[in-house]
Structure 1
Amino acid sequence: MTARLIAHLGFHKTGTKSVQKTLQANRDILDGHLHITLRADMHALCEATRAWSASRKPVDLAYVRYEAAELLAGWQDDVPMLISSEDLSGHMPGRRGLTTYDATPQLAEALVSAWTAARPDMDVTLVYTTRAPDPWLRSCHTQHLRAIRIKRSAQEYAETYARSADFDEIIADVRRRCPDVAVEEQKLEQSANLALGPLDPILDLTGLPPSVRTRMRPQPRANVGMPQAARDALLALNRSDLKGDAYRAARKALKKQHG
Structure 2
Amino acid sequence: MTGERSLQFGPITFVDFDAPGWAYSGLIDWFGSTPDKKDVVERPQQHGAFPADVSLRASKAISFRASFRGQTGADVEEAYDRLTAVAAEGPVLLTANYPGGSTWRKVTATVNVEDHFGLHIGEATIHCVARDPRRYATGEWVETPPPSPGQGQTWPEVSPEVWPGGGSTGRITLVNDGKAPTLPSFVLKGGIGSALITCVETGARVGFARPIPAGSSVVIENGRATLDGQDVSRWLRFREWTPIPGGMSRSFQLNVVEPVGTPRLAGKADHAWW
TM-score tier (shorter): under 0.3
User: Which one scores higher on RCO, CA 8 angstroms, separation ≥ 6?
Assistant: 1
Q: TM-score, normalised by structure 2?
A: 0.21
- Which one has the largest radius of gyration? 2
Q: Which has the higher strand share?
A: 2
Q: TM-score, normalised by structure 1?
A: 0.22
